[in-house]
Amino acid sequence: MLPIKEFVLSPRVLSSLYNAVANVFWSLLAFAPVSIFCYRFMERAWLWAFVAASFIASMVPASTLRYLELSSTLTTYRKLGVHRVNHLVQHGTFINHLLRRRDPEYRRMLSRAKTAYLLQSTYIQERFHWAVLLFFLLSSLYGIAHGFPGWALLITIINVVYNLYPIWLQQYIRVRLNRSRSNLTQESLNSSKRRALACH
């Protein structure tokens, strides 16, 4: 059994802790203003209607998400600065850097199974942000319709930062992971060919 200190400082536990802190931090920044607006100014019937619409959006299949992808190349996302967002989010560059100070090999090499798992994770993250994006969008439209343009502008800015860019980030990550998976497949084929030639 691992000593308590060694267990707490293990990469697995630290990964969960660091990523949870990043997730809670950004979520509080985004949801706090929107929650205040909804509580103070939005009729409850509209609030529950928007929640229901967002819940439906959270069940979008992966095939639809692939259809909604902005681009199949990394260049488009990099031009929009999407790769910079990855520095500050959960499972991002900064957190991975902190974890590699404890474990230099953390996520250096990805197996096909790990790549497949991460690909599925991007769809889960993207569904969440599409659902919240829709709720925030409907809230901003409600603000415009009911004479709260300042609130509508604030919620729109939050929506772009908290939802639109993270949606693009998940798509960007998938492009990178698919490239990595293709490289792994090619390496596996090359290795099989070398073994076959060696047998002859």
For residues 5 and 2, give the distance between their C-alpha atoms in angstroms, rounded to a whole number: 8
Measuring CA to CA, how many Å separate 36 from each of 31, 125, 143?
A: 8, 25, 12
Identify residue 102 by its one-letter amino acid code.
R
Query: What pLDDT, on a 0 to 100 scale, did the predictor assign at position 7?
Result: 47
Retrieve residue 22's tokens.
């990043």
Query: Are 156 and 139 in contact, with CB atoms under 8 Å apart?
Result: no
Query: What pLDDT, on a 0 to 100 scale, did the predictor assign at position 41?
Result: 97
Query: What pLDDT, on a 0 to 100 scale, did the predictor assign at position 196?
Result: 53
Query: What pLDDT, on a 0 to 100 scale, did the predictor assign at position 110?
Result: 62
Taken as a whole, the chain contains a residue count of 200
Place of tokens 């209607």: 49
Query: What pLDDT, on a 0 to 100 scale, did the predictor assign at position 84?
Result: 87
Taking the domains of the chain in order of start, what are their residue ranges?
4-199
Query: What pLDDT, on a 0 to 100 scale, did the predictor assign at position 154?
Result: 98
Identify residue 164 by its one-letter amino acid code.
L
Classify residue 174 as left (phi > 0), alpha (psi -120 to 50) or beta. Answer: alpha
Tens-of-pLDDT digits for all 200 residues of the chain? Answer: 445 545 445 556 766 777 777 788 889 999 999 999 999 999 999 999 999 999 999 999 999 999 999 998 999 999 999 988 887 777 667 676 666 666 665 555 566 777 788 889 899 999 999 999 999 999 999 999 999 999 999 999 999 999 999 999 999 999 988 887 665 554 454 555 555 555 55
Query: What pLDDT, on a 0 to 100 scale, did the predictor assign at position 195?
Result: 57
Whole-prediction pTM? 0.79
Query: What pLDDT, on a 0 to 100 scale, did the predictor assign at position 158?
Result: 97
Alpha-carbon dihedral sign for residues 57, 62, 68, 72: positive
Environment class of 144 (CB within 10 Å of its CB; exposed 0-12, middle 13-18, buried 19+): middle
How many alpha carbons fall within 13 Å on the CB side of residue 89? 17
